[in-house]
Amino acid sequence: MDIKTKNFHQKHDSRGTLTFLEGERDVPFAIKRIYYIYGVHPEERRGFHAHKRLQQYLICVHGKCSVMLDNGLGQRDHVVLEDPNAGLYVGPGVWCEMYGFSADAVLLVLASEYYDEADYIRDYDTFTTYVNGGRTL
């Protein structure tokens, strides 16, 4: 499955901590878009889609949330995001569901492409057909 977790650079001093990352250096793409998700009810789930081309880094910069990742070929993973210094890379062709948001969670996402609804696969059966080679979408 095309996912990985990574810790970014941190600078600590008496004033606190600064984390930084650079496009095409710390993340493997030029960052074209940033969005963030917050105010999610703890019982709510989001996502339920995969992307055809989009690469993303998910960083929970405050609070906590979890991500379920599925490659459509029988492999599933769950990743807890609760460290503002840690990112989860999600490549194309990975079904993604976010859940378990704490009330104070802020999920920051760095994306390799501008928003394009045509890049989303929002139906799970269509997704499994897609990753199994039925790429006639």
Residues designated catalytic: 49
Report the length, in residues, of the chain. Answer: 137
Restricting to residues 19-38, name those near ligand T46 by CB under 6 A. Answer: 33, 35, 37
Asked if 56 interacts with ligand T46 (CB under 6 A), we say yes
Question: 54 phi and psi, to 5 degrees?
Answer: -65, 135
CA–CA distances in Å: residue 24 to residues 21, 54, 102, 112, 115: 9, 15, 31, 10, 19
Q: How far is the CB of 94 from ligand T46 (least distance, A)?
A: 9
Restricting to residues 36-55, name those near ligand T46 by CB under 6 A. Answer: 37, 46-47
- Cβ burial of 81 (10 Å; 0-12, 13-18, 19+) is buried
Asked if 109 interacts with ligand T46 (CB under 6 A), we say yes
- Please report, for the chain, how many H helices and E strands are present, in that order: 1, 12
Of 11 and 32, CB closest to ligand T46: 32
Of 46 and 52, CB closest to ligand T46: 46
Binding residues for ligand T46, rule: CB under 6 A, are 33, 35, 37, 46-47, 56, 96, 109, 115
